[in-house]
Amino acid sequence: MALTVLGISTSPRQRGNSDLLLRQVLAGAESAGASTEYLSLQGLRIAPCQACNACFKTGVCRVADDFPAVFDKLLAVDRLVLASPVHFMAVSAQAKLLIDRCQCLWARKYILHQPMFPEGARDRRAMLIAVAGSRSTNMFRCLSLTMQSWLDAAAFDYALNLFVNQVDERGAVMQHRAALDEALRLGAELVSGDKPGSEPRTVECFDGGKGSS
């Protein structure tokens, strides 16, 4: 049975740069035999975490909106790819809403001590795509820390990063041949590569596409 890959675009722009790289990663995963699904958070109604701690007793978020449908997909898949632009040294607001609402997963693991999968541990791996307009590279470390904490709660091994800077205008990444090629290759690696170590492998495309075709 084919591995399943869920790609979540958290960009507020349709076909923004992180979104385009996500589509490329999913194409790479498909080329390696995976079954993929693309999901954009744009237009979904996901409220902030209310810090009500109801999930400390049930392991379930009680806020009624579009989150449960996304939550079910997160639990079902073998591989996850989250794509986000960098906003003020962090993931997008859309991404952070999703991450914070997964407090119920943290509660299951650390408060209720419930196994995520009663049938036994699964080989689940995740990847982060992050794109920034700035020349700086410091912000990518901030995003990695957020992902590390979130993926631990969600029972994914944090396998891969693709970081691209100096790409700002919508669609500009289509001129960044190196980033597009790496995205395609990493998609296949996420599906068929060896089990990741304790730290994610990071690919950096930090030239803004200069010299690429």
Nearest to 146, CA basis, from 100, 94, 206, 203: 100
How far is residue 206's CA from residue 198's CA, in Å, rounded to a whole number?
Answer: 24
Rg over alpha carbons for the chain, rounded to the nearest Å, is: 17
- pLDDT value at position 40? 97
- In contact, 163 and 140? CB cutoff 8 Å: yes
- pLDDT value at position 120? 84
Beta bridge partners of 163: 130, 204
Query: pLDDT tens digit string along 14-36?
Result: 889 999 999 999 999 999 999 99
How far is residue 207's CA from residue 120's CA, in Å, rounded to a whole number?
Answer: 43
Query: pLDDT tens digit string along 80-107?
Result: 999 999 999 899 999 999 999 999 999 9
Fold (CATH) for 4-205: Rossmann fold (3.40.50)
Question: Residues of the chain with pLDDT > 70: what percent?
Answer: 97
- pLDDT value at position 208? 66
110: CB partners within 8 A, 6+ apart: 153
- Tokens standing for residue 105: 């997963």
